[in-house]
Amino acid sequence: MAKRAQPTSRGVESWLPGPAGFITLAAFLTMAAAGCSPSLGSLPCSPPEYHVDPSFAKRGDTVTVSAPEATCNPRYGPNAQVHIVFTDAAGADVLNTTAPMTDAGGFTFTAEVPVQTASGVMAVKAEPHGVDWCDDTGTNNRAHSSDGELERASCAEPMKPLTITK
């Protein structure tokens, strides 16, 4: 009785023998392709990068905070909102509001720089409202528990500078 030759490489034929193996391989490749499809929504999808225009302003000037639609499919929903906060150089939140946002995260928000704003660099924050934008895996990674107490985990808050001049 002849001994069966061993494959010289660890290719597909060595771990998927026979016709069932090719069906398994086809199913695996189909699932992998489906997992990469934004239409099925299985991949993590972060909010789109937002912009502040202009980057220098005076009190009373109009500024625009905007973001394009995401290239993935975050599916924020038909009533999605963006939460926008202006924190001045003195640390005071001089604007804290929500505005409409598209299902794909796009928005345009225009406001006047409040007159009570301190001069210096203001932090402009814009993030999806009511959504765990930091982690799209279904788990809130911004807080974790150790010994029953919640601790804030590392997750950078997006901030853009807006310099307020006199």
Helix (H/G/I), strand (E/B), else coil: 93: strand
Beta bridge partners of 63: 111
Q: How many CA atoms lie within 13 A of 2 on its CB side?
A: 3
Which has the minimum average pLDDT: 27-36, 111-120, 157-166? 27-36
41 Ramachandran zone, left/alpha/beta (phi>0; psi -120 to 50): left
pLDDT tens digits for 103-114?
999 999 999 999
Distance CA 113, CA 115 (A): 6
Examine the pLDDT at 9 and tell me if it is beyond 50.
Answer: no
Cβ pair 78, 153 in contact under 8 A: no
118 near 90, Cβ under 8 Å?
yes
**What span, in angstroms and rounded, lies between the C-alpha atoms of 75 and 71?**
11
Least confidently predicted of 41-50, 86-95, 138-147, 157-166: 138-147
What is the distance between the alpha carbons of residues 152 and 72, in angstroms, rounded to a whole number?
28
Query: How far from the centroid of its chain's Cα atoms is residue 154's Cα?
Result: 15
CA nearest 112: which of 94, 126, 129? Answer: 94
- Worst-scoring range by mean pLDDT, 61-65, 105-109, 151-155? 151-155
Q: Are 132 and 56 in contact (CB under 8 A)?
A: no
**pLDDT mean over 90-111:** 96
Angstrom distance (rounded) from CA 69 to CA 102 = 8
Mean pLDDT of 16-24: 46
